[in-house]
Amino acid sequence: MKLERLLQNISTHKINAPLDSEISELTLNSNDIKKGSLFFAIRGGNFDGNNYINDAIASGASCVVTESEPNESVPYVLVEDAREAMAKISGNFYENCHKHMKMIAITGTNGKTTTAHMIANILKHSGKKVTVAGTLGTYINGEKTDTELTTPDPIEFHKLIAKSYKEGVTHFIYEASAHAIYLKKLSGIIADIAVFTNFSQDHLDFFKTLDSYRAVKRSFFTKEFARFAVINADDNLGINILKTAEIPITSYGIQNPSDVFAIETEYNNGFSCVVNAYDDIFDLKSHFHGEFNIYNSLGAITVARLLSIPVPTIKSAYEVMQPVSGRFNLLRFQKRSVVIDFAHTPEGLKNLLISARLLCKGKLISVFGCGGNRDSKKRPLMGAVSAKYSDFTILTSDNSRHENPNDIIRQIEEGHKEINNKYIKITEREKAIAYALITSKQDDLVVIAGKGGEEYSEENGIKTPYSDTKVVEEIIKRYEL
């Protein structure tokens, strides 16, 4: 594709490159340069792409997009914001296929993945061809492509969008992480519908303050990113968005007046409730557990009704819909019961344990840790949550990355022991899970939180295969539990 075409609708300060240059591919990694590449010199926390401009040109790059004017011998495009330019140029390179599909975005601290997959399942049940992209990877018409990030970088993201469009997808559902919004990965894409699930503490390692994190979430509900908003009216930030959003908006909830709401909620082998969706009233039964999944369902149902999916189709979709991998997966064995969940924030862990308590006849045993090189302020808070809502806690490791796992555990412990001393520390996660299963009794419920459906463990920058579910199954088999 010609450089001139790639730069359509891109704000530039200076162009020092032939506009008829042929661009064969896009990259932000100088190691991936091939002849004809367009290289984006992106400044990151640990690396500055501008330091690799000469290497990129020497390797065959046709042009560089940068915020800093390089040597005149370098063919370059000077822009105000290289990240924003990368997102929009990526759209142009892949023919802006997002404009030809219904784009549905989900943002919020918790519940993004489940809500996205609920929407996808309803749409597929109605006969639509769907892509869903997020934490669990990207599924194009049910075929999985692994991705590293909740919201992939723009080049990869637009490539997935283009592939989806070529395969006949009509509805593209994606999780919009706070990082992606802040780093302008989604610039140029306007969601037809944007859903806000909830807000609570997370990612303060990156955003530093709750106010900064909150402002990023709020900024998504503007004309730049969305045409229509679906908002949780029972969340404080959601209430603020409802009052201040500059785009058309609708609401869902349980407690506060909402356009779509649930009453008569019951929790028994899943949940059931009565849903009122724009005055269409119907019974809903689901295999999902917990009040938080009623909220996720209300968000998904609101989107479905906005897309004119009939109520009978929504109901029948939920009758066969199975829980999302790693999101409140209830495993019942002959002598033990286990819940595996991704909960990795104080609010997420609280919701998980409250919901698990409803299924527990004996003691509720919590097994969890916190990720390394992430928000350390939430660690004692999560310890306190487990102390308050479970009967016993086993503190363990969880993707310690470049931190000492024992240091992380001690920080969690600080919060727990302020409430009570009903806990033990077992650093190795497999041994922690084994301890929980072996020492628990038949009526107890073991909740294993933090990793959910992840299939790896990350320590010292190295990822090794690992699965909470597989570990549980092996221990149950080994000890005949």
Note the pLDDT tens digit of each residue in 133-177: 999 999 999 999 988 888 899 999 999 999 999 999 999 999 999
Q: Which tokens in the block code for residue 417?
A: 């022991």
**Which pTM was predicted?**
0.93
Find out whether 107 and 230 touch, Cβ atoms under 8 Å: no
298-318 burial, b at 16+ Cβ within 10 Å, e below that, comes to bbbbbbbbbbebebeebbebb
439-479 pLDDT tens trace: 999 999 999 999 999 999 999 989 999 999 999 999 999 99
Can you give the pLDDT at residue 121?
98
Can you give the pLDDT at residue 52?
94
User: CA nearest 337: which of 479, 448, 452, 451?
Assistant: 448
Find out whether 40 and 86 touch, Cβ atoms under 8 Å: yes
249-280 burial, b at 16+ Cβ within 10 Å, e below that, comes to bbbbbbeeebbbbbeeeebeebbbbebebeee
- Other beta carbons less than 10 A from residue 398's beta carbon: 27
Q: Is 20 helix (H, G, I), strand (E, B) or coil?
A: coil
362-416 pLDDT tens trace: 999 999 999 999 999 999 999 999 999 999 999 999 999 999 999 999 999 999 9
Can you give the pLDDT at residue 210?
93
List phi, psi (to 5°) of 122: -60, -45
Can you give the pLDDT at residue 44?
84
Can you give the pLDDT at residue 80?
97
Find out whether 294 and 273 touch, Cβ atoms under 8 Å: yes
Task: State the chain's mean pLDDT as an integer.
Answer: 96
Checking DSSP bridges between strand 260-267 and strand 329-332, what pairing results, if any? unpaired
d(CA 67, CA 217) in angstroms, rounded, equals 26
Name residue 94's amino acid.
Answer: Y
Degrees, nearest 5: CA angle 211-250-158: 70
User: CA nearest 233: which of 250, 210, 211?
Assistant: 250
Can you give the pLDDT at residue 268?
84
Helix (H) / strand (E) element for 350: namely helix 346-357
Q: Is 93 helix (H, G, I), strand (E, B) or coil?
A: helix
d(CA 402, CA 344) in angstroms, rounded, equals 18
Find out whether 445 and 455 touch, Cβ atoms under 8 Å: no
Q: Which tokens in the block code for residue 344?
A: 């990795």
pLDDT in tens, the chain (481 residues): 999 999 999 999 999 999 999 999 999 998 999 999 999 999 987 889 999 999 999 999 999 999 999 988 999 999 999 999 999 999 999 999 999 999 999 999 999 999 999 999 999 999 999 999 999 999 999 999 988 888 899 999 999 999 999 999 999 999 999 999 999 999 999 999 999 999 998 888 889 999 999 999 999 999 999 999 999 999 999 999 999 999 999 999 999 999 999 999 999 889 999 999 999 999 999 999 999 999 999 999 999 999 999 999 999 999 999 999 999 999 999 999 999 999 999 999 999 999 999 999 999 999 999 999 999 999 999 999 999 999 999 999 999 999 999 999 999 999 999 999 999 999 999 999 999 999 999 999 999 999 999 999 999 989 999 999 999 999 999 999 9
Name residue 28's amino acid.
Answer: L
List phi, psi (to 5°) of 135: -55, -35
Can you give the pLDDT at residue 135?
92
How distant is the alpha carbon of residue 376 from its chain centre?
19
d(CA 297, CA 393) in angstroms, rounded, equals 30
Length of the chain: 481
d(CA 298, CA 118) in angstroms, rounded, equals 10
List phi, psi (to 5°) of 375: -50, 105
Can you give the pLDDT at residue 191?
98
Helix axes 346-357, 378-389, angle to 10 degrees: 10
Can you give the pLDDT at residue 149?
82
d(CA 116, CA 237) in angstroms, rounded, equals 20
Find out whether 435 and 463 touch, Cβ atoms under 8 Å: no
Say which DSSP state 170 is in.
Answer: -
d(CA 413, CA 387) in angstroms, rounded, equals 10
SS3 content of the chain, % helix, strand, coil (to 5): 35, 25, 40
d(CA 64, CA 38) in angstroms, rounded, equals 6
Say which DSSP state 265 is in.
Answer: E
Can you give the pLDDT at residue 87?
98
How would DSSP label each residue in 376-442?
A: STHHHHHHHHHHHH-SEEEE--S--BTS-HHHHHHHHHHHHHTT---EEE--SHHHHHHHHHHHS-T
Can you give the pLDDT at residue 148?
81
